[in-house]
Amino acid sequence: MMVTTLTSRELNQGVSRAKKAAKGGPVFITDRGKPAHVLLTFDEYQALTKQRRNIAESLAMPGIADIDFEAPKANIGIRAAEF
């Protein structure tokens, strides 16, 4: 994987070049010498974000009904407040 670094000015002057470079790896875009943005292909973006599912997506996964799991009951007692 090749990493490319472009200034904001270079990006503005050559968007096509940045898009082509992103096919080979991430493109770091700097603003005043500091990294400010990263350009990725959509496939790379999906690969990075696919691992983070929300709870609703996890519970809707195929085959989830086949998993045996019983949550333990919580034993919550009541006590007087201390002031």
Domain positions in the chain are 4-54
pLDDT greater at residue 63 or residue 15: 15
Q: Please, what is the average pLDDT of the chain?
A: 85
Sorting pLDDT into bands at 50, 70 and 90, what band is 38? very high
Over range 11-29, report the average pLDDT. Answer: 94
Has residue 53 got a pLDDT over 70? no
pLDDT > 70 fraction of the chain, expressed in percent and rounded = 89
**Integer distance in angstroms from the first to the last C-alpha of the chain?**
61
Helix (H) or strand (E) holding 13: helix 8-13
- Identify the CA nearest to 25 among candidates 7, 38, 12, 11: 38
CATH number for the domain running over 4-54: 3.40.1620.10
17-21, 29-33, 74-78: the lowest-pLDDT one:
74-78
Is residue 26 within 8 A of residue 38, CB to CB? The reply is yes
Please give the model's pTM, rounded to 2 decimal places: 0.58
